[in-house]
Structure formats: C-alpha cells, structure tokens
Amino acid sequence: MRKGTLPTIRCGSIKFENIQAIIFDKDGTLEDSQNYLRELAIHRTRLIDAQIPGVGASLLMAFGIQDDIIDPTGLMAVGSLQENKIAAAAYIAQTGRSWFDALEIAHNSFVEADKSCPKNTLNSTIFTGSLELIKLISDRGLKVGILSADSTHNVQSFVKRHQLSDYIQLIMGGDGLLTKPDPQLFIQACQSLESDPNSTLMIGDSEGDITMAQQGGAAGTIGISWNNLQATHLEKADITIMKLNQIQLC
C-alpha cells in the first residue's frame, strides 16, 4: 500500500474503496451477549410478574424470548433500554394500572434486574476475531466507532473490559432521543468521527443497523450472522458474512 493511501476493504466478491471509517454495532456483532440478554429479559419479567401476576408470558414474547431462545430480530436484541421499558410499561398498563404507575414499575424492575444480573466476562464475551480486526483496521489508518442500542455506559465498559480504548475513536450508545434505524443516528456518528457517511462502512447484525446506515448514505453495509444460516433479516445488506475474518484489508 502506498504511503498516504487507505486500504481497500474486501468481503467476498465485494470491494469497498476510499473508506475512512468503520462503525460497528456491539451486541450480536462484537459482543456475544445473547445468553446475557436472555437472562436479563427473564429477570425483568419475573420481577414484573411478581407485582402484576399473569403478564409474564406476554412480556417474554414481547421481549423476543420464546422457548428459552432470544429472537435476533426481537425487542431485547435490537431495542434500546427506553424502548424495552416502554414496551414493558404498555403491558403493565393493559392490566388497568395508570401509565405513570406502569412506567415506575417497569423502571424499578429494570433497575433491580440489572443489579441481580450484572454483565461480566462470564455471561458476555467478545466474539472471536473482533479484537484482531479492530486492531488491524486501526493500524491501517482507518477510524473505528461503536454505535449501539445499549447504553453508552455499557459500551464504555465493553471497550474497557476488552482493552479496545486505544483503537476506538467513537463510543455511542442509545441514550438519546434517536434510536436505530433513524439515519440521523448514523450521520451523527460520522460527524463525531469526522468521516463522511459515503466514506464510512457499517457492520451490524440487525436490520436496524443496515437500514440506518443505508438511509444515512453509508459507503456500504456488512451484515454479520455468526453462523446463523437463517439471516433473512440481513438480506438488504451489501453482503452478509458469518465470521469477521471474512473481512480483509488489501
């Protein structure tokens, strides 16, 4: 590679050129958090059901948990904390509780569930190859960001826990008013990275990641399914891969 030039990103038969930055989703893309998210949803549901008996089964389904399996397209997997709280409060309000009571019950239950089901390296790990790819991207002169529906605090904890701080220029969680797939969220992330959207790649495991980036003018989108052959929710991505080592820098 000539001095001052940026590498070409090759993924299967697809090439992305003139790329300045790559933005990753976190949960399901870099972090193998399915077991944690499932257990957290179950904890939240049990705490709410203890106060409002009978809503447990409906809540689990709303969260995207069925037969002890988390739906990769479901609310728990792709929704922000606030979206999950609103959904839970809606089911509580259906039982006759006032909206403000429903919100309070949902909020307190979520806080208590976080305490009883903390995220750590035992229940949430970084996917194989993630650290190596991020290091390689950074070493080759590209900017790296993480844009997640999880809270900014949790994204920061993930970056610190896996010693990624030296390679990540953007940490953005779903704390604000905007949520995926709003394209303004991607545009804001690019602005923070000082990278043009049309020079920025998005890598994610959800339809929201892909739609957000495409509508925000991204240079390209890569869907990651991590060995899930039934990734129809990623069919709009420019290309879908099953492992991050399928991404090559030339």
Give the Cα separation of 46 and 48 in Å (integer): 5
167 burial level (CB within 10 Å; 0-12, 13-18, 19+): middle
Find how far residue 25's CA is from the centre of its chain. 4
Q: What is the pLDDT along the chain (250 residues), one digit of tens a residue?
A: 334 578 899 998 999 999 999 999 999 999 999 889 999 999 999 999 999 999 999 999 999 998 888 998 899 999 999 999 999 999 999 999 999 999 999 999 999 999 988 776 556 789 999 999 999 999 999 999 999 999 999 999 999 999 999 999 999 998 888 999 999 999 999 999 999 999 999 999 999 999 999 999 999 999 999 877 678 899 999 999 999 999 999 8
Domains of the chain: 9-32+126-249 (3.40.50.1000), 34-116 (no CATH)
- Degrees, nearest 5: CA angle 171-30-121: 95
Please, what is the end-to-end C-alpha distance for the chain in angstroms? Answer: 8
| Nearest residue to 189 via CA among 2, 15, 60, 21 | 21
Cβ-based neighbours of 35, under 8 Å, separated by 6 or more: 123, 124
Say what the pLDDT of residue 122 is. 55
| φ, ψ for residue 239, nearest 5 deg | -160, 145
User: What pLDDT is recorded for position 123?
Assistant: 66
pLDDT at 119: 74
Helix, strand, coil abundance in the chain, percent, nearest 5 = 45, 15, 40
Question: How confident is the model at residue 1, as a pLDDT?
Answer: 39
Angle subtended at Cα 143 by Cα 137 and Cα 144, rounded to the nearest 5 degrees: 75
